[in-house]
Amino acid sequence: MRLSRYFLPVLKEDPKEAQIVSHRLMLRAGMIKQQTAGIYSWLPMGFKVLRRIEQIVHEEQARAGHIPMLMPTLQPADLWRESGRYDDYGEEMLRIKDRNKRDLLYGPTNEEMITDIFRSHVGSYKDLPLTLYHIQWKFRDEIRPRFGVMRGREFLMKDGYNFDLTKEDALHAYNRHLVSYLRSYERMGLQAIPMRADGGPIGGDYTHEFLVLAETGESEVFYDSQITDLTFGDRQIDYDNVAECQAVLEEFTSRYARTDETHDEAVYAEVPEERRRTARGIEVGQIFYFGTKYSEPMGATVRGADGAQVPVHMGSHGIGVSRLLGAIIEANHDDKGIIWPEGVTPFHVGIVNLKQGDNSTDAACDAIYAELQARGLDPLYDDRDERAGAKFASMDLIGLPWRITVGPRGLTTNKVELTSRRTGQTEELSPQEAIARIAQIYQPVLGVTVADK
């Protein structure tokens, strides 16, 4: 993309309404525009990052054998009356009447609808296991929408639902989700720690929230510092292997890590004192096993091997896709702006032309731009007629991880500068070397295609 042709409405001043850094930087970098409390338009660059995050989620769900679909945002109230949640949900649910006075609602989540789809089409244990998911907008009329996209009213969520014959199988689905979530967050450049959460009325040990540590997090968390040493990395996993997935769950959940909702001083006291940590965290996902909570009242049963009808065991698993933009920025910025991790950056590399209008500099930039694109990379070329200082300030603000700076002086010896946004370190290289370096850096990030299992 050439910046002169793009729509990137960068703000010069800090917006007054933003209380936290990610909100401020998203507004300043022209990524979002608030339309009313907790409801945002996604301007092109914000939309691009949102899409990159969605893509990672899709790829990792496909790897785990989970099947994508799409359910509507509006749902009939009757389904929620069947589960009893129409009355229980309270003011957070946006209730709507259509012209025929039928009650609808803007879905805050989809357990009822997916259970309805399941009961309409699946009748035998032979069709199990089954995990379906979608990435769709949700609406929750939060009392206090704030912090930009972190606590919106309309927000994008990935929500997945597993259907299994037995509790044992459903717990394997739970573990698959845990593994796929660990992989997803790491690809986004985040460490999200699974913490034992409150199962609410469902109870039991079978829910974990994933938290990104950040000062601005809304949850207070308590953990054993050893847990921050764990990474999933690029190890291979067979998602059909029950023991392998269980081992990952045990590895990542055996150390103390809880939110204030489940914190237990007595258990925490068993952690050696020098490893006890208190911090704040942003919830970026949650997984649940809830058994037959919905399948029983809604009649989602299958014929078992012995011919008897049994309610299926279910779980639901959510990732806060739009909240993740805020969380990623909270964890990756400095006083000049955002520092995107390579996995989610809106553009892979910025090209700064120091002397726009100079024939040889323009030609060199055009050639670099074309070559990067030919290699499957997505560069942003700042071809505006602006001072170098202004171009650098915009690049730092929008936070592309790499910048290639091209000026007439360097070109006399066939040199450009390659600068890392994170470290600020600059190297002088030939244009070909700089392109090769960028291609190499992004090789692990690009071209991940996963066929549906």
The residue ranges that bind Mg ion (CB under 5 A) are 286
Among 147-155, 266-274, 355-363, 425-433, the segment contacting ligand ATP (CB under 6 A): 147-155
Q: Of 66 and 403, which has the nearer Cβ to ligand ATP? A: 66
Nearest Cα residue to 173 out of 257, 309, 290, 295:
290
Q: Under the criterion CB under 6 A, does residue 142 sit at the interface with ligand ATP?
A: yes
157 interacts with ligand ATP by CB under 6 A:
yes
Judged by beta carbon, residue 3 or residue 157, the one nearer ligand ATP is 157
Q: Which is nearer to ligand ATP, 75 or 405 (CB)?
A: 75
Crossing angle (nearest 10°) for helices 359-374 and 431-442: 30
CB of 232 to ligand ATP, least distance (A): 19
User: Is 206 a binder of ligand ATP (CB under 6 A)?
Assistant: no
Three-state DSSP class for 167?
Answer: helix
Q: Which two tokens stand for residue 396?
A: 């730092």
Of positions 148, 194, 320, 410, contacts ligand ATP by CB under 6 A: 320
Answer yes or no whether residue 286 interacts with ligand ATP by CB under 6 A.
yes
Of 23, 63, 134, 151, which one interacts with ligand ATP (CB under 6 A)?
A: 151
Q: CB of 253 within 8 A of CB of 196?
A: yes
Point out which span in 23-31, 168-176, 284-292, 330-338 binds ligand ATP (CB under 6 A): 284-292
Q: Which residue from 323, 14, 409 is spatially nearest to 148, judged by alpha carbons?
A: 323
Distance CA 83, CA 111 (A): 9
CB-wise, 20 or 364, nearer to ligand ATP?
A: 20
71 within 8 A of 110, measured Cβ to Cβ: yes
The secondary element (H helix, E strand) that includes residue 172 is helix 167-187
Cα atoms in the Cβ-side hemisphere of radius 13 Å centred on 351: 33
Q: Which of 283, 330, 383, 396 binds ligand ATP (CB under 6 A)?
A: 283
Cα–chain-centroid distance for residue 7? 24
Is the Cβ–Cβ distance between 331 and 341 less than 8 Å? no
The size of the chain, in residues, is: 453
How many residues interact with ligand ATP (rule CB under 6 A)? 15
Q: Which residue has the tokens 């950056």?
A: 345
Identity at 119, one-letter amino acid code: R
Q: Which is nearer to Mg ion, 286 or 332 (CB)?
A: 286
Residue nearer to ligand ATP on the CB measure, 284 or 377: 284
Q: Give Cα 17 to chain centroid, integer Å.
A: 24
Choose from ligand ATP, Mg ion, none: what does 152 bind? Cβ within 5-8 Å by kind.
ligand ATP
| Nearest residue (CB) to ligand ATP, 84 versus 424 | 84
Residue numbers at the binding site for ligand ATP (CB under 6 A):
109, 140, 142, 151-152, 155, 157, 283-286, 318, 320, 322-323
